[in-house]
Every structure is written in C-alpha cells, then in structure tokens.
Structure 1
C-alpha cells in the first residue's frame, strides 16, 4: 500500500472484514492497532524523506497515507488505552507536517464568537482551486475528539475537491453558554463568508456524533446554511419522549399524529438540504431517519446508512472511509452552483436514499 488510493482501499477492506479478523478480544484489537500504527510510521518516514529531497508531492501523499493508517489504529484501541493518546499525537503531527507542505496555506485561526466575544481555535483549509469562488463546509468533530483528529480524516477527502474546510472541535463548541453554540457557528460562517475564494451562498455544516445535534440547531436558526449533515432534531425528540415516559411512568408514546408533528418540527425549520447519517456510532437509527423522511416528504432529506462493521467487547468499529467519502460527495453535490428542481408546492425537493456502499 504505497500510494493513497491503495492505502485507503486496503483500510476500507480491512474494516469491512473486521468481524472475521479475530477482533473479538482486546488483545487482538491491540495487535491490529499496532500493525496499522507501524504502517503509519512507515508512511510518515517516507514522507519526511521525500520532503527532505524536495519531492513535495510524494511527501504529501505519504503523509496522507500515514494519517489514514493512524486513524484506523486509533479506532481499534480502547478509549482508556494510553496508546490512543499517542496515536492522536501522531495524527496531529501529521497534520502539521502536511500543512507545511501545502501550496495553499492551512491556517490555525481564532474565531470570535458574536455571542460573548470569546475566541476559539479552528483549522482553515482554503480550496486549492486558486481564483475560483468555491463552497465551504464547517466541520464539527464528535465529542471527545479534537479538531486536529477530524482534520486528519478530512484532509484526503477535501484535496482535489473545490471546497474550503473549517474544522472546530465539539468540546469548544459545546462548552459555550446554553444556547450559544449556534451563535459561535454563525461566527464561523461569518469568517468563511469574507474569505476571498469562498462563495458565501454555498456554505454547509457537518456535525458528527452529538455535534450532529448542534449542526441541526445551527442550520435551523441561520438561514444562510446551504446544506447540513446533522440529526434533523431526532436526538432532542428522543430525549423528549424519554422525559415524558419518565414523568408519566407510561410506556406508550404519543399518538402517531402528535408524534409526526413533534418529530418533524425541527427539520421543517431548516431551509436547506439535510443528510441524516443513520446507524453506526451516530445518534440516529435507520428507523428514526426513515420515519422522519416519510414525515417530511416535501422537504429535502437524504439518508446515509452506516452499516455495522463489528461489535465486540471494546465497542463498534465503522468503515469510516466509506461513510466519509459518501458524506463529502453529498456535500459537494448539494453545494454545487446550480438551481435545484422545485416541487409542485414550490419547495425544492430532490429526496433520495444514500447507502454507504452505493
């Protein structure tokens, strides 16, 4: 696996077959993590040697291979395993190495919140297509994941696409005062809107894990958002049902008409295309996503199904390469500069079902 394409194919094949790879015990998981980490180290060294020789293109590809291998290793380790922190540190170092070799400048920027004027860090990677006015995406990591870790994953996806990326961490966004996270993300959108090569009318948001909930609130409140990868309000709906059940000690759920109205309330406030990432480690189940899509047939809701790869003692492992690629292809498609079709009611509608293997 000497180039990026073969490295990512090999990693995807490994994750697809992980259920048959002896990962049912912690020892087997650590052994495989060590092998992927060793592969990452090999690519890392190859990138450093190429950089020293002035072969920058070869160095960049090698570092991208290393980032992919390190991400596989990180996911194979238990959250409490000290090796996980070491791999995360290697990912951050790889991001720094890669940034120094880019023709376009990858910046560590400070975003000033319009809520309380506090400043929070972010990574900004401009689109590599100089002179073009390109779309952009605000990417929010899942809980307990740094912005650098998410950036290490999206770097191979963003390069070669005419799209700018702004990456922030879940912890930074969620640690805002109650209700203020959407204002901080609006400040992120403000930042992108004034960048020379960003089209302010084509800025999307992508939230992972509980950040999908934050992305929903942001897209519902800020009408400038052009596309959203989020939970469509389903997490808060599930919490409301649980709260009602606890307070009333009732096992039954509200009647179907009330459930339809409540379930679809938040997503109907969103004026942009929506992608629900269902299954896997996400906060949305496939059945919930399909119910919401059926409830809101007149809105633009797509579904990306993440199949379970393997469930064992340390948790669930996903084929993140397949899902990440599908998510960015969806964003690229929805943020393309074109007029979408209109439905009979005048609303834009192009609902479709996406699956990770499509």
Structure 2
C-alpha cells in the first residue's frame, strides 16, 4: 500500500486491521516521515469515514454492516490516538471518538452490558461485559485497562479483536481497581465472583489480562485466586523489582542484591503460579525484555506453562507499539488456553 499518497478506506475489518499493521511496520521508512500529527489526522479521517458509513447503514436498518464499519473506525481511531501521543488535545479528541463509537457498537442488539460489580466492602466497580456470540457457556477474561485509559477506551480497542473469538470479556478500569478500598486482588476476585455465577460463563475457564501497569494487578489475582485459568501479566517482576529496590534502600547500597539471591526469588515466584502465564515484555511497559527472558529461563525446568510475548516497536520519532498484531497475539493465546479445541 502506498503510504506516501495516503491509506485507503477499506470497508472490511480484516483488511482495515492489516492496513493498520502494515502502516505501523512501514512507519520508520524515510518516505513515511511526514510527522505523527499529519498521520494522526489522516487516520482520524479514515475513522470518521467508517463512522459515518456505520451511521448511514444503521439508518437503513443494516445493523451488521453498521457494526463492521464501526469496528473499522475503532481500529483507525486507536491508531490515530497512538500517533497523537505528544499532542494532548488531539489524543483526547481521538479518545473521545473511540468512546463514542464503542457506545454505538454496544447499543446494537444489547451485546454489551454496563455491569456494576459489588465489592466485599459493598462499594461498586462499574464494568463492561461483552458476551461471546453463539455460546451458552463461554470462557471469559477480566481485562484491566492501563493506568492512562478508561474502561470504555479499552473496550473500544478490544471490540475488533474479539470478533468470532468465542470469549466473553469483563472490562475494568485500572483506576477503579487500584482506588478500591478493598485490595486490588480482592476487588478483582469480586469480578471473578460475578463471572462465576453468570449462566453464560464457564466458571472453570476464566482468565485475566492486565495492560500496562495493570499487568502487576493481573499477577496478584492469578497468585491469590486459584480459580484463574490463564493470566496475561508481568509474571511478578514488578513486585520483585520493588522488593529489591526496598532492600537496597534499607541496606544503603546497590550491591546488596546478588544475582544468586535474585535468581532464587525468581524461582520461588514462578513456582507459585498454578495456571498458564503469558508475560508481556515491552519497552514502554513495566517488564523489560532482559528481565522477562531471565524469568523464562527459570521457568524452563519448572512444571509451569509460561510464555513470553513482546510487541514490535516502531522507534521513528517516538516508540509506538504495533497494537494490532500484539492484541491478536494476546487473545489468540487466551483463546488457545481457554478453548483448547480452538484453531488459534
């Protein structure tokens, strides 16, 4: 595709997502260096075109066509948001478009429920629940947003990924979990309680996915609640780093943590996991590739299913992750672990 003249609007979700992924792969090339703001504006226009097409289709009563167009718009707006990271106003504008379009998709056939989950202290966490189409007892995943995103924004990013997955999701905002008067793992256990009693959820196949700093929250839930059947998390590396930093501060030296001591801590931590784990390493996240690789080497002799995933990062002007390919990787892994007979 010729990115110099500009990307084309394609009224097909798979093609739109391939176009976005291809754009990100090629973005570091010299002929793509027109600046983030220009490309953010172009992808916003593409999203607007899909969004308007969805509106036109809904007015004609063509709900399937409307949903497909809006899902294309969500991918385009997400890419525009990431390209506009350095421009707060443009980033906020793209986020607002994502949330507005996500609500349109949610209004179709009442596919998405706004669900208040009650915590142990009787407070409530407002979540989104999206049920898997065509399944009476589907696996489910608790998805926790980054510290920078709302639950609605994360829902907008995930809706195109979840098409035909056969997985239900409960989307939660990082802020709501981390600010809960209950401990975050207890608040997330309440989310797990809610899913476990739903008639359309298979209580034996509930996973958790934490994005950004929420990867550490996903780890806490996986370690504290044995009902978790699969976890996309940080593998405990955030808590390990904090523990070592505290030890060094108390000792007043940076030399207190010898590698053999750290290795022993990693080994003990790994042995606590009782479910399959996908550790997400990222240059922008809380887990570095070297630390994740060390964790993986410690997991090799242990009886644990632990894998490592790292998104491709485009470093032209600033770091932008290929979220399209990476999200497909994450939910393909979750589908494989929670739906063993899946072709993913």
Q: TM-score, normalised by structure 2?
A: 0.91
In 2: Cα distance, 1:256 partner to 1:246 partner: 17
Give the unaligned 5+ runs of structure 2. 1-9
Query: Structure 1 residues 294 and 14, CA, compared in 2 at 3 Å: closer, same or farther?
Result: same
Aligned-pair CA distance for 1:154: 0.9
SS at structure 2 position matched to 1:60: helix
In 2: Cα distance, 1:308 partner to 1:45 partner: 31
Deviates more, 1:52-61 or 1:280-289: 280-289
Which stretches of structure 1, 4 residues or longer, exceed 6 Å deviation after superposition? none
Give the unaligned 5+ runs of structure 1. 339-357
State the partner residue of 2:308: 303
State the partner residue of 1:237: 240
Aligned-residue Cα RMSD (Å) equals 1.9
Give the conservation status (yes or no) of the 8 Å contact 1:216–1:233.
Answer: yes
Does 2:165 match 1:161?
A: yes
State the partner residue of 1:129: 134
State the partner residue of 2:274: 271
Aligned-pair CA distance for 1:16: 1.1
State the partner residue of 1:329: 332
In 2: Cα distance, 1:327 partner to 1:197 partner: 23
Give the conservation status (yes or no) of the 8 Å contact 2:205–2:229.
Answer: yes
State the partner residue of 2:175: 171
State the partner residue of 2:261: 258
Match of 2:75 among 68, 72, 81: 68
Give the conservation status (yes or no) of the 8 Å contact 1:308–1:316.
Answer: yes
In 2: Cα distance, 1:22 partner to 1:184 partner: 48
SS at structure 2 position matched to 1:232: coil
Give the conservation status (yes or no) of the 8 Å contact 2:24–2:322.
Answer: yes
Q: Deviations over 1:31-57 (max 9, x none)?
A: 110000010000000000011111111
**1:1-358 correspondence runs (5 A):** 1-20=10-29, 28-78=35-85, 81-102=88-109, 105-114=111-120, 116-130=121-135, 132-177=136-181, 180-252=183-255, 254-297=257-300, 298=302, 299-312=304-317, 315-337=318-340
In 2: Cα distance, 1:22 partner to 1:74 partner: 21
Deviates more, 1:203-212 or 1:267-276: 267-276
In 1: Cα distance, 2:171 partner to 2:214 partner: 12
In 2: Cα distance, 1:11 partner to 1:264 partner: 39
SS at structure 2 position matched to 1:117: coil
Q: Deviations over 1:144-203 (max 9, x none)?
A: 1011111111111112011101000111111123x7111111111111111111100000
SS at structure 1 position matched to 2:153: helix
**Count of paired positions:** 331
